[in-house]
């Protein structure tokens, strides 16, 4: 590891919050779930509406450092 490399460059932690709407849509049970992911090191947070969006947000720090292995579409079942 390069001595200049910071902990932020080697480590990423996230807080993922999920909640349901007070009044879910009767015609679309998926529509009543909401989520937010917070990157702990930067304090940044983003809302998401699907698992694909969550995986995209979780992979962002690795993409910023040029690590190609984190491709969220490969992770979906």
Task: Answer yes or no: pTM beyond 0.95.
Answer: no
Sign, Cα dihedral of 53, 69, 5, 64: negative
- What confidence tens digit (pLDDT) does each residue in 11-62 have? 788 999 998 877 766 776 666 778 999 989 889 999 988 888 888 888 887 7
Segment 51-77 mean pLDDT? 72
Where in the chain are the domains? 7-22+30-67
75: Cβ contacts below 8 Å, ≥ 6 apart? 55
């Amino acid at each position: 590891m390069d001595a200049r490399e910071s902990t932020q460059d080697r480590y990423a932690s996230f807080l993922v919050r999920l909640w349901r709407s007070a009044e879910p849509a009767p015609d679309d049970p998926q529509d009543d779930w909401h989520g937010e992911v917070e990157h702990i090191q930067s304090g940044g947070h983003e809302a998401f509406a699907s698992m694909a969006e969550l995986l995209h947000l979780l992979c962002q720090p690795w993409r910023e450092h040029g690590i190609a292995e984190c491709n969220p579409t490969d992770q979906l079942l």
